[in-house]
Structure 1
Amino acid sequence: MCTFITWKGNGEGVTALSLDAVTFWGYRRPDGRVGIRNHVLILPTIVCATQAAKHITELVQGTVSFIHQHGCAQVGVDYEQTFRTYVGMGTNPNVYGVVVLGLGCETHQARSIAGEIAKSGKPVEVVSIQDHGGTLYTVAEGARIAAKMVQDASALHREPFDLRELIVGTECGGSDACSGLSANPAVGVVSDMIVDHGGTSILAETTELIGAEHLLANRAVDDRVAKKVYEVIQAMESRAFKMGVDIRTGNPSPGNIRGGLSSLEEKSLGAANKAGTRPLQELIDYAEAPTKKGLVWMDTPGHDIEQLTGMVAGGAQIVLFTTGRGTPTGSPIAPVIKISTNTAIFNKMGDNIDINAGTIIDGTETIEAVGQRLFDEMVSVCSGKWTKSEILKQHDFGIYRIGPTF
C-alpha cells in the first residue's frame, strides 16, 4: 500500500517524500482504459424510454440504468452536451456493454449514440420502442440482449493495475463549517497521492469555487490555464447576474447555513481544499474526458447529481464525496465513497456514509492519517469492495442543461 515516510510543509501545502507502489484489481477494456466495475448499462436516450429500461434492469441481474427527463426538444450546445453525457456514460470503463434504448422519434437518436459508444470497442446494441412494437416487446428484446452481455461480462477476471489508470472525481454536498477543516482537506491529501502515482483527480463545482479562484489560478501550469480559471468563474457569475443574483456574497443553501456557513465564498475556500496542493493541469467542459494526467478542473454547476453525472461521463471510475449535513447520493455505474465532516452525522447516517473524517475535528486523528485511511478505502473499493450507495442501489443521474427547451 501507499505509505508516507515523512511530510514537510513548504508554505504552499504538504509534500509527500516517499511513496510505495500501489495496485488495484480491475478490468481492461478494448479502448485501453480500466474499469473497476463490470456493469451492463441499459441506457435510455429519452425520458419516454426510462420506464422500459427500468423493467429490463428488474429482469436481468447485473444490469444498471437511470431515470431522467432528458433526450428531446434540445438544440445547439444543449443538445451537444446531453449527447456527450450519454456517450460518456456508455464509454465509462466501469461499463462492459450497453443496450441503448430509444423511443424512435426523439432528438437524441439511439443509433447515433450507440455508434459513438461502439468506437470504444465494447458491445453495444440498439432497441427502439417504436420499432419493436411497444413496451412489452421492447423489454423482452432488451432483456434478451442484456442477459447475453451479462453472461459474457461475468467471464472476465480482474487484473492488477497501477493507479495511473484511475480518474477520481471529488465532490462535496450538504457542506457545513467542518467541511473545509476535515473531510475536504483529507480528500485533498488523497488527490495529491493519486496525482503523485500518475493518476487523475477531478475538481468540479465551479459555483463552489467562486472566491477561491485566485488560489487555483496561482497553481495553474501555464498562463493559458490560469486565464481560463478566471473565465469560467466569470461566466458562472454572469449567468447568475442575468437572473439578478449576486451569488458570490450571497448565502448558500439552507442546509449550509444551518451547518454554519455564512456565504458562498466561505464555502468555496473550504471546497477548494479537495484539490490538494498539486499543479492545475487543465480545465475541461462538462462531461468531457481529461486529456492530461494530474489535477483537472471540470466546469460543472454545484448541483450534486449534475456534477456527479458530469464527472462520471468524463470517465471517472470512482468519486470521493464529502458531506457535513448528510446525503445518500450515488451513481449507477461509479462507486461513490461518502465521507462525513463530523462524527455526529456519521453516527446519525451510518447507512449512507462510508468514512468518518470527523475524527479530525474530535482531535483523535490528523488530516494526513484520515487521508491515508481514505486512500486505503478507495483502493479497496477499486478492487471490488462495495460502497454503501452501491448496496442501497442509489442510482442518481441528472444532466446540467443549457438554455431553453423547444
Structure 2
Amino acid sequence: MSQSVLKIHPNDTVLVALKDLEPGEIVHWEDTTLTVTEAIPAKHKLTLADSLPGGAVSMYGVRVGTLKHAIRAGGRLTTFNVQHATDSYQIATTTSPDLHQNWAAPDVSHLQARTFMGYHRADGRVGTANYWLVIPLVFCENRNIQVLQEALVHDLGYARRHSYTEHTNQLIELVRAGKTVEQILDTHFSATGGSTATPHGPQQLFPNVDGVKFLIHDGGCGGTRQDAQALCGLLAGYITHPNVAGATILSLGCQNAQVAMLQDEIAKRSPNDPRPLYILEQQSIGTEVTLMEQALRQTFAGLMQANACVRQPAPLSKLCVGLECGGSDGFSGISANPVLGQVSDRLVALGGTVILSEFPELCGVEQELCDRCVQPELAGRFQSLMRTYAQRAEAAGSGFDMNPSPGNIRDGLITDAMKSAGAARKGGSSPVVDVLDYPELVRKPGLNLLCTPGNDVESTTAEVGSGATLVLFTTGLGTPTGNPIAPVVKVASNTALANRMPDIIDINTGTIIDGQETIEAVAERLLDYMIRVASGETDVAAVRHGQDDFIPWKRGVSL
C-alpha cells in the first residue's frame, strides 16, 4: 500500500490518512484529487467533498456519524465537527436456508490436512493447553487462594513473572550510602530484571501440566442473586474448559454463590464430566491449617491425574478462537481486524468455531449481522440483546456513543460507530450460526456472537469462559491483556507499535499499512503462528509475562 490515503468502501464519504498530511498537500485516490486544508495526523479522516451540518459520515459502507458543522473538502473529521450516529436496522422475516451454501467460503484445501497438537477431552473438545485451576467461590477466600499460590507456583516451576529484586537491592544500597534524591532518579541499573520462570523440562515434576492458575475475583456474595448465578456460570465454563484438567474450589459456606449452584452450572455445560474436582468448604472444615493441608493434598492428587494427559494430533476444526480488540486505533479496521476476519473465515470453512463479542462495539453494523444470521430467531435475539444493553446504558446516564476511549479518539476513532464498523471486520463474512448471552457455552461450529461488554479484559474473560481455547487480540495503542488458561495472541495494527512494545506484541500487521504485505499473506502467517501456539511449540508474550487477567462481568453497564 503505497498511497498516502485510503478509501475503504466505494460508498464512503471520507478517506483515511495513512501518513501525516500537511496543509496544502495534494492527495489522490483513484479519480479523486484533494487539497488538504489542515494538518491531518495518520489514522485520522479527511472529507471527500464540501459537507454541510446534518450530513451523514460513512465508513466501511455504513453510517458512522453526522456532521455538526460544515467541513470543506480535504478537512479533518474531529469530535468538534462530527457526532456519533447510526442507521436503524430491522430483522428480515425470512432467512435463506441456503445461506451456508451461498456463502463464498475461502479456499482452504491447503489447510485440510493441517493439525495441531492438543489435549483431547472426554466431551470431544480439544484444548491448546493443560492447566489445573484453583478458584475461590467467593471473595472471602481470596487470601487462602493467595496462600496456596505462594505454596505451589514457584516450587513447582510455574512462576512466570519478571523479578526486579536486583533493582530494588541496588536502590537499597544507594540509599544506605547516602545518595541524594537526584542521584537515585539518575540511577542506571546494572541488571535488567529477569524472569523467575522455570523452563519446562525433565526436572519439572508434572511436565504435561502447563501450570496451576488462580482465578481471584471480587464476587460470590453481596450484589444480586443474578450476579452470583452469572459468576457460577462463568466459573463452570472455566472448570469444564478444554484447556483445563481439573480444579480445586475453596468455598466459605454462607455466600450467595453456593456449591450446589456451581455444580448445576457445571452439569449444564458438561454432564458427568470425568475431570477431578475438589471442593473444600472452610466453615465445615475449620482451621486455616486444616483447610490448606487438605487443599494441597488434593491439588497434588489432581496434578498427578492431569499429568497423565498428553498432546495428540487434532484437526484445525477443533480450534475455538475468540476475536478481541483493545486499545484500538485508526488503522485497526484496515490492517489487524480484516486479517482476523480472513483467519475467522478460514477456520469456519474448516469446521472450526469463532466467537465475536463486545456488543457495544457492534453498534452501527447490526443490520449486516442480522442479515448474516442463519435464522430470523437468531437475528431477533441479537437485536434484543443489543437494544436491552443500549437501554441499560442510557438509563445509567451513558450510552454506546460514550464508548471510544481518549486513546481511541486521539488515534482516529472519534465515534463509537466508526470504532464498531472497523471492529466488526474481525468476524469476517461467514454466516452467524448462533447468538449467545453471557456466560453461555458455545456449542455450534461457525461464527458465534457473544454478548459481552467492550472492556477488553471482561470480554476476553467471557470468551474463554464460553469455550475459546485461543484468543486473537488486535491492538493499535498497545495493551498487555492476557488470560489465565487461554493463550492471547496480540496482533499490532501498525509497525510503530510493534517496534515500540515488542515485549507484548506477537504479530505485526502494520506491514499492510507499510505496503509490504497483503491482508491475505498476513492472515496465512498468523494462522501458521496460531497452530504453533495451539501445539505448545511457542508461548505468546502474555503467557511469558504471566499476564493472567480475569475479570467477571457484573451485568451492569460496562462499555
Whether TM exceeds 0.5 here: the answer is yes
Give the equivalent residue in structure 1 for 2:121. 29
CA contact 1:100–1:114 (8 Å) conserved in 2: no
Distance, in Å, in 1 between the alignment partners of 2:367 and 2:215 is 37
The DSSP-based 3-state class of the residue aligned with 1:16 is coil
Deviations 1:83-122 (A, max 9, x none): 1111111111100011011122211123542565473221
Structure 2 unaligned residues grouped into runs of 5+: 1-60, 62-101, 157-210
Work out whether 1:161 is the aligned partner of 2:309.
no
Q: C-alpha separation between the residues in 1 aligned to 2:334 and 2:556?
A: 37
Share of identical aligned residues, percent? 42
Q: 352, 364, 367: which one pairs with 2:504? A: 352
Partner of 2:463: 311
Deviations 1:126-149 (A, max 9, x none): 122333334333223212211222
Query: Which structure's residues are more often helix, by fraction?
Result: 1
Alpha-carbon distance in 2 for matches of 1:274, 1:220? 16
Q: Which residue does the alignment assign to 2:141?
A: 49
What's 1:230 paired with?
383
Measure how far apart 1:400 and its partner are: 1.2
Is the CA contact 2:233–2:265 (under 8 Å) kept in the aligned structure 1? no
Is the 1:35–1:94 Cα contact (8 Å) retained in structure 2? yes
Measured after TM superposition, the shift of residue 191 of structure 1 is 0.5
User: Which residue of 1 is the match for residue 280 of structure 2?
Assistant: 127
Structure 1 contact 114–126 (Cα < 8 Å) conserved: no
1:88 to 234, 237, 250: 237
> What SS class does the counterpart of residue 386 from structure 2 fall into?
helix
* SS of equivalent residue, structure 2 residue 283: coil
**Could you state the TM-score of these two structures normalised by the residue count of structure 2?**
0.67
Q: Specify the code of the residue in structure 2 equivalent to 1:194.
A: L
Amino acid at match of 2:107: L
Match of 1:17 in 2: 107
The alpha-carbon distance between structure 1 residues 305 and 75, as it changes in their structure 2 partners (threshold 3 A), is: same
- Give 1:274's match in structure 2, choosing from 418, 426, 430: 426
Shift of 1:251: 5.9
Contact 1:51/1:67 (<8 A) preserved: no
* TM-score of the superposed pair, with normalisation by structure 1: 0.92
Equivalent position to 1:207, from 331, 343, 360: 360
Which of residues 500, 517, 531 is equivalent to 1:379? 531
Change (3 A) 1:135 1:305: farther
Q: Comparing 126-135 with 82-91, which one deviates more in the overlay?
A: 126-135
Q: Are positions 1:369 and 2:513 aligned together? A: no
Aligned equivalent of 1:262: 414
- 1:206-228 CA distance string (max 9 Å, x none): 00001111121121112222222
CA deviation map 1:3-30 (0-9, x unaligned)? xxxxxxxx99974234232211111112
8 Å CA contact 1:23, 1:163 repeated in 2: yes
Q: Would the alpha carbon gap of residues 226 and 373 (structure 1) be closer, same or farther in structure 2, given more than 3 Å must change?
A: same
Distance 2:279 2:286 in 1: 14
Residues 255-283 of structure 1 show CA distances to partners (whole Å, capped at 9, x for unaligned) of: 11122111000000000000001011110
Partner in structure 2 of residue 58 of structure 1: 150
Higher mean C-alpha deviation, range 199-208 or range 136-145: 136-145
In the TM superposition, residue 403 of structure 1 has moved relative to its aligned partner by 5.3
The aligned residue for residue 113 of structure 1 is 262
Contact kept, 8 Å, 2:332 with 2:423, in 1: the verdict is: yes
Q: Deviations over 1:301-332 (max 9, x none)?
A: 11111111111111111111001111111111
Q: Distance in 2 between matches of 1:178 and 1:170?
A: 17
Give the corresponding residue for 1:97: 246
Q: Larger RCO: Structure 1 or Structure 2 (Cα < 8 Å, ≥ 6 residues apart)?
A: 1
Further displaced range: 379-388 or 175-184: 379-388
CA contact (8 A) 2:345 2:430 kept: yes
* Deviation (angstroms), 1:75: 3.3
Task: Return the match for 2:439 from 266, 287, 291.
Answer: 287
* Structure 1 residue identity aligned to 2:122: P
Aligned length: 393
Q: 1:171 to 1:403 in 2, by over 3 A?
A: closer
Residue type of the alignment partner of 2:344:
S
Among candidates 355, 362, 372, match of residue 219 of structure 1: 372
Are the counterparts in 2 of residues 111 and 126 from structure 1 also a CA contact under 8 Å?
A: no
* Residues 63 and 146 in structure 1, CA contact (< 8 A), matched pair in contact too: no
SS at match of 2:448: strand
Aligned to 1:7: none
